[in-house]
Structure 1
Amino acid sequence: MPRRVGGSLPPRPGTRPRRDHPIIRYEEDNRMKMPNLLKRAALAAALSTAATLGAAEETVTLKLADQFPLTHVGSRVGSQALIQALEERSEGRITIRHFPAEQLAKASGLLDAVRNRVTDIALVGVVYNTDKLPLTSAAELPGLFENSVEASKAFEKYITTDLLEREYLPLGVRPLWGTVTPPYQLMLAEGDGIAEMSELGGMKLRVAGATGELIAKSMGAVPVKVPASDLYLALQRGTVNGAIYNPPSVFGYKIEEVLSAVSDNASLGAVAFALLVNEDVWQSLSEEDRAVIQSVAADVRLSFTQAFETANQKAFDKLAGAGVTVFSLPPETQAAINENLGAVRDIWVEQVGARGLPAREMLDAYQARLAE
């Protein structure tokens, strides 16, 4: 007979086992417990998967495109600052894939890029899109402001309120912020400056858009449209004799290397920028994400304009240090230029109004914003 060690013997072959036998009872208990254990394991796995999927769904990755090289002040205090602030304030929930320096589209194509979902967000220069944003271009007219920080506040209200449904939503985009640069200056490839406006007669000056064309013509110059990214070569090759441009931006493209002189007291209009998001993308975001983006955009817009204003003051010293002559227009020359520039606004109203648009009404609305 087998030796019994610490338990019951197994049933003999050919006999019917007793249901209360310890070994039989152990096997039956295990068979009953296994389905419950499997169910619990499956439930735990499902909950873990759901949590993982939920976290993934909460994460948003957006593409942002602009025209600026990473060394440009517009990139450093604009796009790069926006990206960092968004990721920090959303605690990593919102991330941005950045495409600087016209990687996704040329400066003139960034508006279409955000309309067509090539990018989700773009920092768009209005000057390159006056055909699609004609009423917005009022912000680039000369003689409307002196301080770009205050002017940017007015411009943002103008495009996010007065022009939102009239000019932006019909294009499928929504403005998140608006800024204007400090007043543009006269830049020359040769010489030490000008003493009289007549010296500009027939001179080929680089301009960025339609408003710049009006400004150049009002001084007797010949406007030539050239993107900022091509200005270095245009000056170097003599395609243009000079430019209407803002001082802080020259360093991002190393334009100071091909300049001879820059004015410091002209007021030759400005360039406006709008941070635009595709409207379908915007509506797909949660209310929480939209609130974070709007809050960050407001803060970065303010620091962007303040940095540009500060950079404008420092740029003249930096230009002088690079061997460029910084000159002031004589009072009588400045007065003559400003008198001619006064007609530019009337011409703008006439040209934009000829397209069946309320040009005078919207220029008055923008000036009212500036006066607030």
Structure 2
Amino acid sequence: MYKKALARSARVAAFCVLVTVGCVPAQARTLMFADSFPLSHTLSTDGTQRWMKRVETLTDGDIDFRHFPAEQLAKAGEILQKIEDGVIQAGYIGTGYVSDELPLNGALMLPGEVRDTVNASQAYWQLLKNDTPLRQEFLDNGVVPIYAVMLPPYQLVLKRGPVSELGDLRGLKLRSTGSLNLVVQAVGANPVSMAAPDAYLAIQRGTLDGTVLPVTSIAPYKVNEVTKSLSTNGRFGSFGITVAMDKKTYDGLSESQRKAVDQAGDETTAHLAQVIEDEVQTDLAEFRDQGMAVYELPESMREALEPKYQAAQQAWVERMSARGLDGQAVIDAYESALADVDAKR
């Protein structure tokens, strides 16, 4: 009788530990987190830092973080590998920096796909939360998407003055990355694959003639200090900002901890996307005050760019097809998700 009771007690104890239904307290843990953003960057203050603080609050301190910002631990394109290697448990993953590992996620970097940052971010996040090829790419790399936003449309940021026709771009060396390389190439410029934090020195030294960047990323990387002009109405593509967690770490959290991580992710996606959208006009005004030429591309140039944008998108679809991937289906799924978000706003 005693042995049976002891065995039954052991089974109950094991069950409690496995399902964490309150029989034992959730295990407190410190997670290592890395990103490439300066601490003053909106993507840090209203993104990664905000998310970490929110997780700590929602878990009553059971989860806290050791934060390595501004590429202290790894370059932007190396963070996914650091998670896979177990060096860190979570971090920022720029989809354009790991296009070999997350090829289909490059669809949203294509020109014209992002028009409104808030809606585009919500549409992308819905695709990453549900059972889609975009989410599966993250899972296949051993990570779980935690939150995501899309940046505003990329603009021309050049060492020279404003451009007024397509020929002005011919031969320029522009920093780019991922699917954006196809766009830069399509408009006649020469793409130079490089992470945003490295653009300043490359432009300053004359290695680059400029870059394509969203308005909100220019000042944090001090690119405005080494350039003279900025377009405002280009549609040169976008960039996916995602934060992901090691899947084993995520699965090892208690149910309440996972809910806290997920809730903080949903909140951060909504908050950060709106902050980015609101920040664009403020940044443009500051650049004008600094003497930067902030201008609209003329209508004739915009019309000339449209077929180039389409050519870049088609080239990307063909590149995906060569890898046995259905890129067009992903574009269609995003457009459908975006239409759903638009209808609800």
User: Could you tell me the TM-score, scaled by structure 1's length?
Assistant: 0.82
Matched-pair contact (CA < 8 Å) for 2:230–2:295: yes
Q: Deviations over 1:241-289 (max 9, x none)?
A: 1111111112112111101000011111000011111000011100010
Tell me how far apart the structure 1 counterparts of residues 83 and 335 of structure 2 sit (CA, whole Å).
29
Q: Which runs of 5+ in 2 are unaligned?
A: 1-22, 341-345
2:133 maps to a residue whose letter is L
**Could you tell me which residue of structure 1 aligns to residue 140 of structure 2?**
170
Matched-pair contact (CA < 8 Å) for 1:164–1:174: no
State yes or no: 1:343 paired with 2:311: yes
Q: Of 193, 209, 222, which residue of structure 2 is paired with 1:254?
A: 222
State yes or no: 1:129 paired with 2:79: no
Matched-pair contact (CA < 8 Å) for 1:104–1:118: no
**Could you tell me which residue of structure 2 aligns to residue 185 of structure 1?**
155
Q: Deviations over 1:127-170 (max 9, x none)?
A: 10111000111111111231011011111122232126631222
Matched-pair contact (CA < 8 Å) for 1:153–1:179: yes
Tell me how far apart the structure 2 counterparts of residues 55 and 71 of structure 1 sit (CA, whole Å).
40
**Could you tell me which residue of structure 2 aligns to residue 22 of structure 1?**
none
Q: Of 256, 274, 291, which residue of structure 2 is paired with 1:288?
A: 256
Q: Which runs of 5+ in 1 are unaligned?
A: 1-53
Q: Deviations over 1:81-135 (max 9, x none)?
A: 1122122222222211111011221101111111222111111100101110001
Instruction: Return the offset for 1:71.
Output: 1.1
Matched-pair contact (CA < 8 Å) for 2:171–2:189: yes
Matched-pair contact (CA < 8 Å) for 2:54–2:264: yes
Matches within 5 A, 1:160-239: 160-161=129-130, 162-163=132-133, 166-191=136-161, 193-209=162-178, 211-239=179-207
Instruction: Return the offset for 1:362.
Output: 2.0
**Could you tell me which residue of structure 2 aligns to residue 321 of structure 1?**
289
Aligned residue for 2:38, secondary structure, equals: coil
Matches within 5 A, 1:1-372: 58-161=27-130, 162-163=132-133, 166-191=136-161, 193-209=162-178, 211-372=179-340
**Could you tell me which residue of structure 1 aligns to residue 16 of structure 2?**
none
Report which of the two structures shows the higher radius of gyration computed on alpha carbons: 1
Tell me how far apart the structure 1 counterparts of residues 27 and 181 of structure 2 sit (CA, whole Å).
47
User: Could you tell me the TM-score, scaled by structure 2's length?
Assistant: 0.88
Matched-pair contact (CA < 8 Å) for 1:136–1:159: no
1:62 maps to a residue whose letter is L
Tell me how far apart the structure 1 counterparts of residues 262 and 210 of structure 2 sit (CA, whole Å).
39
Tell me how far apart the structure 2 counterparts of residues 249 and 299 of structure 1 sit (CA, whole Å).
22
Aligned residue for 2:220, secondary structure, equals: helix
Aligned residue for 1:149, secondary structure, equals: helix
Matched-pair contact (CA < 8 Å) for 1:67–1:102: yes
Counterparts in 2 of 1:243 and 1:175: CA distance versus 1, 3 Å = same
Counterparts in 2 of 1:119 and 1:131: CA distance versus 1, 3 Å = same
Structure 1 residues 323-332 or 164-173, which shifts more?
A: 164-173
Matched-pair contact (CA < 8 Å) for 1:189–1:261: yes
Matched-pair contact (CA < 8 Å) for 1:126–1:136: yes
Matched-pair contact (CA < 8 Å) for 1:184–1:266: yes
Aligned residue for 1:97, secondary structure, equals: strand
Aligned residue for 1:238, secondary structure, equals: coil
Q: Deviations over 1:284-319 (max 9, x none)?
A: 100010001101111011111111111122111111
Aligned residue for 2:114, secondary structure, equals: coil
Instruction: Return the offset for 1:57.
Output: 6.0
**Could you tell me which residue of structure 2 aligns to residue 34 of structure 1?**
none
Tell me how far apart the structure 1 counterparts of residues 24 and 196 of structure 2 sit (CA, whole Å).
42
Q: Deviations over 1:189-229 (max 9, x none)?
A: 122x01111111111111122x1111111111111112211
Aligned residue for 1:58, secondary structure, equals: coil
Q: Provide the alpha-carbon RMSD of the alignment.
A: 1.6
Aligned residue for 1:251, secondary structure, equals: coil
Counterparts in 2 of 1:357 and 1:65: CA distance versus 1, 3 Å = same
Instruction: Return the offset for 1:338.
Output: 1.9
